[in-house]
Amino acid sequence: MSTFQAPKGTYDLLPPDSATYLAVREAISGPLKNSGYGYIETPGFENVELFARGVGESTDIVTKEMYAFETKGGDRLALRPEGTASVLRAALEANLHKGGNLPVKLWYSGSYYRYERPQKGRYRHFSQVGAEAIGTEDPALDAELIILADQAYRSLGLRNFRILLNSLGDKECRPVYRAALQDFLRGLDLDDDTRRRVDINPLRVLDDKREYVQKQLAGAPMLRDYLCEACKAYHEQVRELLTAAQVAFEDDEKLVRGLDYYTRTTFEFVHDGLGSQSAVGGGGRYDGLSEMIGGPALPSVGWALGVDRTVLALEAEGIALDIPAATSVYAVPLGDEARRVLFGAVTALRRAGVATDFAYGGKGLKNAMKSANRSGARLALVAGERDLAEGVVQLKDLTSGEQTPVALDAVVDEVRRALA
């Protein structure tokens, strides 16, 4: 055992469990790849100001959860707590929006970091797959992203999840609602931190999960009553497109999400089998974020889906993904000459695209065959001195136990035939 352990609130992904995480990432990214989204990768850390401006200085993410540090050169950096601000920064820096082909559609996958109280489903290091459609204001884009996430979850076999939907208004109507909400909240019995939040971003108080706060929110003004006609029409188009695509959703008038940059459409995916940590993903429209970080006006929409939470959702529904074994063929040499010959056969099989492993370390036949079975391989290639003298190796079906001699120069073809 090592002297060191993974930091508190983090985890290591190890085989065979890691194969499930890879399969989830592939399932989430699959619909995006088929819908015009290109892959983007950004650094694991950014300038602190990028998140302070974009995510919001009043959010828990910035004030309490962000890992911030100063470099030897005096730069103030932070481990990325979310992906949208980084992706938009990268797109602006590369001038992707100037090509005339809007929206710029991007997807990403990676690790993110927040200093939170560790619990099941909430870690200090977590994995997400995200998507952003940058530069176009269109209800069809909002609906597209929700539909693609729904498609991804259903491709994994998930059924017990719900889509919550709301509109947060825009720069025309939200300030009016903000003022009305502030007037209401200032009359409540709130702690000093929450009162400061009322002044900075009162909508975040609606997202406060504490029971004594939620009880006082009864009778709070509702955003739907303050939406301008344009926002009402936009939201109704999103709802109509989802309904036409037969994607079920629930209207949730208190849904504000935890980031300050959202405007108009906001949504969340929740799973009823995960207890208090029920959100498996979410997103929304962020039409003003580009200006917040120094760019031009670029109305955009996106989401991020939690890989960790999705795996927990699969477990909650008792879903075991059908994941192919990492190894199809396992080669077992008996003797030095067989080791040389079979290693050549292994190399040829790998070049032919067959997942093949080898009994390293001079294992005896019994131990080598145990390793072959543990690897999940369907076939074993076994060769000793007598086999080589006859110019063959033994091809063994590890399920039936049937064994067949195969000519050395026909190994690749015979293995392919047996696997097919």
Binding site membership for L-histidine: which residues?
A: 82-84, 114, 128, 132, 257, 261-262
Sign (positive/negative) of CA torsion 404, 405, 410, 415?
positive
SS3 assignment for the chain = CCCCCCCCCCCCCCCCHHHHHHHHHHHHHHHHHCCCCEECCCCCEEEHHHHHHHCCCCCHHHHHHCCEEECCCCCEEEECCCCHHHHHHHHHHCCHHHHCCCCEEEEEEEEEECCCCCECCECCEEEEEEEEEECCCCHHHHHHHHHHHHHHHHHCCCCCEEEEEEECCCCCCHHHHHHHHHHHHCCCCCCHHHHHHHHHCCHHHHCCCCHHHHHHCCCCCCHHHCCCHHHHHHHHHHHHHHHHCCCCCEECCCCCCCCCCCEEEEEEEEECCCCCCCEEEEEEECCCHHHHCCCCCCCEEEEEEEHHHHHHHHHHCCCCCCCCCCCCEEEEECCHHHHHHHHHHHHHHHHCCCCEEECCCCCCHHHHHHHHHHCCCCEEEEECHHHHHCCEEEEEECCCCCEEEEEHHHHHHHHHHHHC
- The binding site consists of 82-84, 114, 128, 132, 257, 261-262
